[in-house]
Amino acid sequence: MENGVRRWLVNTSNWNPSEDQFSFFLSFLPLHEQSAVMRFIKFEDKKRALVSRLLQYSLVHEVLGISFDKIIINRTIEGKPYLQNRENLIFPNFNFNSSHHGDYVGIASEPICLVGLDIVRNTIHKNETALEFINNFSSHFTDLEWKDINGARSSDEIMSVFYRYWCLKEAFVKATGAGVGFGLQRLEFRHRNWNSISIYVDGVESRDWRFSLFQLDEEHWAAVARGHPNGAVDSYKRTLSFFDFDEERDFDRCQDGGFISRSVEQLIPSNIGSVRG
């Protein structure tokens, strides 16, 4: 992949650490991140939260060469993580986004474009049909999207179409840094059999974005959104410094080739003695 571009994925269902092992991996994070992980009640939620943060620190360490104990990751007022270490960066707009749902935790990064990632697991509550489930979210879709979802031939296909639209919308919002208050119904996605995906915001097509969909397995989908830095909300835009965007250079030469699988063990520094224990 291009320098600064990463797509990593961890299958947390394959990782079942003991309490001591969990504490060992947790120790590589700063104290405030450790506290954030331990706020979760269920162990599976703690596990996903830990892996999500380890992905962020490991990625920054690999791409930018900053040691774990020197990495400073903050959040905007809307809650979007960003790297505070901005001095002398080889990639002035380096940004990343992580997501987790079901069995997977993933991260995507870009050197110039905005990037957003959303992972979804194709599930419904046991006491609901597919139609009953999606009707709870009908207000978040446009008429065109809703027609496409309901036009599917089976319950499984209805859920598959629903979740593809959903993760595309979430990936866009996460890339901009807009936060949970952004109305998903303002976005409309159009596609040709889920290729050549385009976005309309408030009814107007935006050509400043590229989208990729990945089927991770039979139950999981991932969407990656890449956009012009000017598309960021103000609080997030202030963390960026490069806006001389060239479509051919920054979009077209850098195609999404999919995710690289990582184990949790691969996320910690090889030289353990150089970081906090």
**pLDDT tens per residue, range 182-221:** 999 999 999 999 999 999 999 999 999 999 999 999 999 9
pTM of the model: 0.93
Alpha helices in 29-138 (DSSP H): 31-38, 43-64, 130-135
Predicted confidence band at 7 (pLDDT cuts at 50, 70, 90)? very high
Of the candidates 121, 98, 94, 118, which has an alpha carbon nearest to the alpha carbon of residue 108?
A: 98
Residue 54 DSSP class: H
Predicted confidence band at 276 (pLDDT cuts at 50, 70, 90)? very low
Per CATH, is 6-274 categorized as 3.30.465.10? no
**25-74 per-position pLDDT tens digit:** 999 999 999 999 999 999 999 999 999 999 999 999 999 999 999 999 99
CA distance 23 to 97: 24
**150-167 per-position pLDDT tens digit:** 999 999 999 999 999 999
Query: Packing angle between helix 19-26 and helix 31-38, nearest 10 degrees?
Result: 140
- Dihedral through CA 135, CA 136, CA 141, CA 143, nearest 10? 30
SS3 263: coil
